[in-house]
A and B are shown apart, each in its own frame.
Chain A
Amino acid sequence: MNISWLFKMALRDSRTNKGRLLLFMSSIVLGIGALVAINSFGENLRNQIENEAKELLGADLEVSSRTPINDKVRARFDSLNFETSEEISFASMAYFPKNGGTRLVNVRALESGFPFYGTIETNPVNGADGIANSNKALADQTLMLQFDALPGDSVKIGKVSFDIAARVIKVPGRSAITTTVAPPVFIPFKSMEATGLLQLGSRMNYKIYAKYPDNFDPKKFDTFLKPWLETTDLDFDDVGQRKESIGDAYSNLTGFLNLTAFVALILGCVGVAGSVSIYIKEKVKSVAVLRCLGATGKQAMAIYLIQVVIMGFIGSVIGAALGAGIQFLLPGLFSDFLPVTVGVSLSYSSIIQGILLGVIAALLFALPPLLRIRKVSPLKAIRASFESETTAKSPYFVYFLILIFILSFSWIQLDNLFRAAIFTAGLLIAFGVLAGVAKAIIWLVRRFFPTGSSFVLRQSLSNLYRPNNQTLILIVTIGLGTALIATLLISQELLVDKLKFSSASTDRPNMVLFDIQSNQLDSVEKLVTTSNFPVLGQVPIVTMRLESVKGRSASELRADSTSEVSDGMLNREYRVTYRDSLTDAEEIIEGKWNGKHIKGEPIYISMDEGFAERMDVTVGDELVFNVQGALMKTTLGSLRKIDFQRVTTNFLVLFPEGVLENAPKFHVILTRFKNPDESAALQSKVVAAYPNISIIDLELVLNTVDEVLGKVSFVIQFMAFFSIFTGIIVLLGSVLLSKYQRIQESVLLRTLGAQRHHIIRINLLEYLILGSLAALTGIFIALIAGWLLAWLSFDTVLTPNLLLLLIMYLAITGLTILIGLSNSRDVLRKPPLEILRRE
């Protein structure tokens, strides 16, 4: 074949079609742009994590435990000449005497040395120097802002008042979001004792940070230190592991973001398919003539294929350039979520990948209409309305390739074949439903055509089904765009709703006092009631550990790599309560709950269903708990479904009455305040009298959650933007492309004497029907998707925001009409002849 001739023809033919080809390629620009931006960002992030790996951990090795760390570990580290620094961290109230403010903070009592790599960034600078050997504290900057505290003011933790040396801006390995949730206060390790908090049963987290000596080969960690640590019940992390786990977390993030970008690309590609199919329809006559002149079907197809590939390439290159620009926005957008500061640098591999992906995607989606060219009969040249006798077979092979393409891309991004399959199937079903609706409307309008109705109605209705109609392509592209965007919005709302436990109602507790010792219980209760606060609940809590499950000891299970029970479950400290009845947030779904333990019978406990599943236990299984030294054999008697959104104290493990009454325990009191001033007043009263008691202000937690969610949803909206704009471009493209078909008919109508308002109304009605149907079907699909998401992932019921959906419907229909009408402007302004001659 003469390839250079094909290229020549492709170029010649594109000269007069530049505008249309430009439109067609523009629909993939945003998708590629987003992909390139995110991939570049992901790569920079990975590099940064690689570079700052040691600073992320702050040490070469970190060992942690919920119980005081055994001296054997220290001895071992000493023998290896490790430099170490210890830390005890826990939740406690910080009290700012200057204005009486209190808040639950993350107290970190640190020895000198940490961080061995990187620094705790402070204002004033170097504020962290020598802090471990002083009696000063460092406090998180937003915490200080909240209480108007300045360096030099004091903060009281437990019984000790510390001068604040500096504000903490950034801690190695922590993102801004984690410090928003639990603002840190650093105090010297040696002052820990004096706070009086160590003995009083708060949940402590013990850590030893170690720095290897210069002559220590980090690989030795894997060969001999790691196996030894695995025999202990300590958690540990070295630089390599930390790097990996952080890297994994963020590659999940970039994978998810990439998928949203991919959705924009697919949407663009559907637009490409639509545009190309309209374009090809116009080219049928030319193809027939070429075939009469002796070009083969393949040659004719190649001419347009070359155009598509070139345009896809140009579109992708523009997209990649745009992506390189968008990339500058991303570090700012994500800075709160990241433990490292990511710079902006061009990633050539991302750019090449993006361009390749764009060309392949555009080509794949353009293939079905392109393949039809091969079958164009030369007879069409002498017979204008000749319909080919054998309708060309659908190119199932290409559809299959497209499916494989979508599946494999989403698989790479999600790293999970099942989810990728669901994503692909979802797209496929949405596509099928929309195509079905389009076909159905064509059939219905034909079947029940209102022959007696007005001229305008008849014209616009017949526009829906006559040859060269755009019903299918517009409904599919607009509908798919609507569905994607609405699904994004709905799932965002689901996420927000899920996290918003309803503390708004007036009888629910919104403040929790915990870590109350048994001997403090009565007086704290009195303090609460005399301050005119209601005691809405009082719950005893016993801490225990798991000793064995179904006859196998916890250490045995930990060592068994085939066991599916996570180490976290085996190591954790269980906070258990006992009572004789269920709360209204609980429901027994399996087994029987008996509120009182009967002497001589096994102790029947109850567990959260999901937790039991993860632990791989069912009703009747035996579990042995270690209740602060005493072993207690229990039988799983029932499984509960807990509505975690309802009450604030929920327990995964529940004991009946009559077992734990004499065990060492502490208590939780639930109360409710009416305004922030009340809350602050009670908090400072309690903290002043009982420094060991921690208080959670649920309103504050909610605000924090809102703040975090606000940032999350901003990111989601940012990503949705690409889909929305691609949708608009596709809409613009397919309507404008059809202009060339429409104009002739409108001009003909004008020539036959149709008035301006006739043409406007015909177009208005047609696009109203198309836009409405597409938007409604899209929203319907999104509702189904949202309902499935709510049911499967969020375990809630979908309560869609109807107003939002209505606005969406109106916006999309309006936009369709607007763009559609702008099409007939030419017809209305210019004399018919000028347009007739142009064709």
Chain B
Amino acid sequence: MPQNSILQVSNLTKTYKSGESSLTVLRNVSFEVNRGASCAIVGPSGSGKTTLLGLCAGLDNPSEGSVMLNGIVLDKLSEDEKAKVRNQHVGFIFQNFNLLPTLTALENVMIPLELQNRSHPRKRAMELLEKVGLGDRVKHYPAQLSGGEQQRVSIARAFANEPAILFADEPTGNLDGETGATIESLILELNKTAGTTLIMVTHDLDLAKRTDRVITMKNGKVYTDSLRPLQTQ
């Protein structure tokens, strides 16, 4: 059912070479994610979660295997073409927020829209910031915002271009439990209303439980892959 699948990962292998020795971080990973689904990737530290996410989003090139994103095979694309794919179809939320420190909250949210040449980027960015509850902080620089607030700006930015798929790498990893929970809810809620597919790396099993599917990684391989974990357990 290719129409229904937005992300197709087949036989993905990633090997890092440093001088003589080489380290295989991902081995033969394959899976598919359906449009509109939410999917958590969990696993011990060093198991290859971030690596996998980076490959899925076209931030890095696999050693073997291929990735198809929203019907586009990433392997053969140039860096610029991949950038275009990211701009049009992908959103990102990072563990350490990664807002541009020299830009205000509003300007940070405007970037994806401006890169797409959308009209009225300011208006839409304002709406998004209001949605995440920061309507009154738009002129502030990242350094003037708390971690939770920064992450909310980054969520607004991630949804700005109405991405088909959203990648998040430990979005709550740098936040305290309570703030983390609000952020989680915000992501899941926006995800649902926008109909976006969500791929999220997390250590937080409570958060993982709130997604449709959980992929567990271990030693660079998919260890378990469970749909609707609440029902299987």
Which residue numbers of A lie inside 8 Å of B, CB to CB?
2, 5, 8-9, 12-17, 285-286, 288-299, 377-379, 381-384, 389, 837-839
A292 touching B92 by the CB < 8 A rule? yes
- Taking the closest CB of chain A, its distance from the CB of B21, in whole angstroms, is 15
A379 touching B100 by the CB < 8 A rule? no
Provide the bound-state CA to CA distance between A729 and B26, in Å. 51
Known contacts A293-B86, A294-B161, then 18 further A-B pairs from the complex at CB < 8 Å, ordered by chain A residue: A5-B115, A12-B103, A15-B102, A16-B141, A286-B102, A288-B98, A292-B57, A292-B92, A293-B111, A293-B157, A294-B84, A294-B88, A294-B112, A379-B59, A381-B59, A837-B143, A838-B143, A839-B101
Contact residues in A for B96 (Cβ distance below 8 Å): 384
A382 touching B169 by the CB < 8 A rule? yes
In B73-127, the 8 Å CB interface with A consists of 79-80, 83-88, 90, 92, 94-96, 98-103, 107, 111-112, 114-117
One of B59, B115, B143 near A839 (C-beta < 8 A): B143
Q: Given A13-B103, A296-B80, A838-B143, are A377 and B92 neighbors across the interface (CB < 8 Å)?
A: no
One of A295, A377, A389 near B59 (C-beta < 8 A): A377
A382 touching B117 by the CB < 8 A rule? no
Contact residues in B for A2 (Cβ distance below 8 Å): 114-115, 117
One of A8, A16, A293, A299 near B101 (C-beta < 8 A): A16
- Taking the closest CB of chain B, its distance from the CB of A483, in whole angstroms, is 36
A297 touching B102 by the CB < 8 A rule? no
B114 touching A294 by the CB < 8 A rule? no
B50: CB under 8 A from chain A?
Answer: yes
Contact residues in B for A289 (Cβ distance below 8 Å): 94, 98-100
Provide the bound-state CA to CA distance between A9 and B104, in Å. 12
B101 touching A381 by the CB < 8 A rule? no
B54: CB under 8 A from chain A?
Answer: yes
B53: CB under 8 A from chain A?
Answer: yes
Type the 1/0 row for B51-69, where 1 means its CB is closer than 8 Å to any CB of A.
0011001011000000000
A379 touching B87 by the CB < 8 A rule? no
A5 touching B101 by the CB < 8 A rule? no
- Taking the closest CB of chain B, its distance from the CB of A102, in whole angstroms, is 77
Residue among B16, B59, B60, B87 facing the most chain A CB atoms (10 A cut-off): B59
Provide the bound-state CA to CA distance between A389 and B96, in Å. 23
A286 touching B101 by the CB < 8 A rule? yes
Contact residues in A for B85 (Cβ distance below 8 Å): 294
One of A13, A17, A295 near B83 (C-beta < 8 A): A295
A292 touching B80 by the CB < 8 A rule? no
B59 touching A294 by the CB < 8 A rule? no
Contact residues in A for B59 (Cβ distance below 8 Å): 292, 377-379, 381-382
For B117, give the chain A residue with the smallest CB separation.
A2
A sample of 25 cross-chain residue pairs with beta-carbon separation below 8 angstroms, ordered by A number, consists of: A2-B115, A8-B114, A12-B102, A13-B103, A286-B101, A289-B98, A289-B99, A292-B57, A292-B86, A292-B92, A293-B112, A294-B86, A294-B87, A294-B112, A294-B116, A294-B161, A297-B79, A297-B80, A297-B83, A378-B83, A379-B59, A379-B60, A381-B59, A383-B50, A837-B143
Provide the bound-state CA to CA distance between A743 and B84, in Å. 37
Provide the bound-state CA to CA distance between A15 and B92, in Å. 26
For B86, give the chain A residue with the smallest CB separation.
A294
One of B16, B100, B101 near A290 (C-beta < 8 A): B100
Q: Given A16-B101, A286-B101, A298-B80, are A381 and B94 neighbors across the interface (CB < 8 Å)?
A: yes
- Taking the closest CB of chain A, its distance from the CB of B20, in whole angstroms, is 16
Contact residues in A for B169 (Cβ distance below 8 Å): 382
Q: Describe A's contact surface by its main secondary structure.
A: helix
Provide the bound-state CA to CA distance between A120 and B141, in Å. 73
Q: Given A293-B115, A295-B115, A839-B143, are A381 and B92 neighbors across the interface (CB < 8 Å)?
A: yes
- Taking the closest CB of chain A, its distance from the CB of B216, in whole angstroms, is 20
Contact residues in B for A378 (Cβ distance below 8 Å): 59, 83, 86
Contact residues in B for A379 (Cβ distance below 8 Å): 54, 59-60
Residue among B79, B90, B157 facing the most chain A CB atoms (10 A cut-off): B79
- Taking the closest CB of chain B, its distance from the CB of A499, in whole angstroms, is 57
Contact residues in B for A292 (Cβ distance below 8 Å): 57, 59, 86, 92, 98
B114 touching A291 by the CB < 8 A rule? no
Q: Given A377-B60, A381-B94, A382-B59, are A294 and B103 neighbors across the interface (CB < 8 Å)?
A: no
- Taking the closest CB of chain B, its distance from the CB of A776, in whole angstroms, is 35
For A292, give the chain B residue with the smallest CB separation.
B92
Provide the bound-state CA to CA distance between A183 and B111, in Å. 76
- Taking the closest CB of chain A, its distance from the CB of B118, in whole angstroms, is 11
Provide the bound-state CA to CA distance between A9 and B112, in Å. 12
One of B53, B79, B101, B117 near A296 (C-beta < 8 A): B79
Contact residues in A for B79 (Cβ distance below 8 Å): 296-297
One of A12, A285, A286, A290 near B107 (C-beta < 8 A): A12
B115 touching A294 by the CB < 8 A rule? yes
- Taking the closest CB of chain B, its distance from the CB of A18, in whole angstroms, is 11
Contact residues in B for A17 (Cβ distance below 8 Å): 102
Provide the bound-state CA to CA distance between A324 and B158, in Å. 52
For B84, give the chain A residue with the smallest CB separation.
A294
Residue among A13, A382, A837 facing the most chain B CB atoms (10 A cut-off): A382
Provide the bound-state CA to CA distance between A289 and B107, in Å. 14
- Taking the closest CB of chain A, its distance from the CB of B102, in whole angstroms, is 5
Q: Given A2-B114, A5-B115, are A285 and B98 neighbors across the interface (CB < 8 Å)?
A: yes
Residue among B57, B102, B143 facing the most chain A CB atoms (10 A cut-off): B102
Contact residues in B for A837 (Cβ distance below 8 Å): 143
A16 touching B54 by the CB < 8 A rule? no
Q: Given A382-B50, A382-B59, are A294 and B100 neighbors across the interface (CB < 8 Å)?
A: no
A381 touching B98 by the CB < 8 A rule? yes
Provide the bound-state CA to CA distance between A8 and B122, in Å. 13
B107 touching A382 by the CB < 8 A rule? no
Provide the bound-state CA to CA distance between A292 and B98, in Å. 10
Provide the bound-state CA to CA distance between A685 and B57, in Å. 103
Contact residues in A for B112 (Cβ distance below 8 Å): 293-294
Provide the bound-state CA to CA distance between A294 and B77, in Å. 14
For B60, give the chain A residue with the smallest CB separation.
A379
Residue among A13, A377, A381 facing the most chain B CB atoms (10 A cut-off): A381
Provide the bound-state CA to CA distance between A383 and B87, in Å. 20
B111 touching A290 by the CB < 8 A rule? yes
For A300, give the chain B residue with the smallest CB separation.
B83
For A374, give the chain B residue with the smallest CB separation.
B79
- Taking the closest CB of chain B, its distance from the CB of A574, in whole angstroms, is 76
Provide the bound-state CA to CA distance between A383 and B88, in Å. 23
- Taking the closest CB of chain B, its distance from the CB of A428, in whole angstroms, is 33
- Taking the closest CB of chain B, its distance from the CB of A387, in whole angstroms, is 10
Q: Which 3 interchain pairs have the tightest Cβ spacing?
A: A294-B87, A294-B86, A296-B80
Contact residues in A for B90 (Cβ distance below 8 Å): 294
For A6, give the chain B residue with the smallest CB separation.
B114
Provide the bound-state CA to CA distance between A782 and B206, in Å. 69
Contact residues in A for B60 (Cβ distance below 8 Å): 377, 379
Provide the bound-state CA to CA distance between A383 and B80, in Å. 20
Residue among B57, B88, B111 facing the most chain A CB atoms (10 A cut-off): B111
Contact residues in B for A286 (Cβ distance below 8 Å): 100-102
- Taking the closest CB of chain B, its distance from the CB of A73, in whole angstroms, is 80
Contact residues in B for A285 (Cβ distance below 8 Å): 98
Residue among B84, B92, B95, B100 facing the most chain A CB atoms (10 A cut-off): B100
Provide the bound-state CA to CA distance between A297 and B83, in Å. 9
Contact residues in A for B95 (Cβ distance below 8 Å): 382
Provide the bound-state CA to CA distance between A728 and B95, in Å. 42
- Taking the closest CB of chain B, its distance from the CB of A395, in whole angstroms, is 17
B115 touching A16 by the CB < 8 A rule? no
Contact residues in B for A293 (Cβ distance below 8 Å): 86-87, 92, 111-112, 115, 157
Contact residues in B for A381 (Cβ distance below 8 Å): 59, 92, 94, 98
Provide the bound-state CA to CA distance between A14 and B115, in Å. 19
Contact residues in B for A294 (Cβ distance below 8 Å): 83-88, 90, 112, 115-116, 161
Residue among B86, B88, B169 facing the most chain A CB atoms (10 A cut-off): B86
- Taking the closest CB of chain A, its distance from the CB of B223, in whole angstroms, is 22
Contact residues in B for A296 (Cβ distance below 8 Å): 79-80, 83-84
Contact residues in A for B117 (Cβ distance below 8 Å): 2, 5
Contact residues in A for B16 (Cβ distance below 8 Å): 389
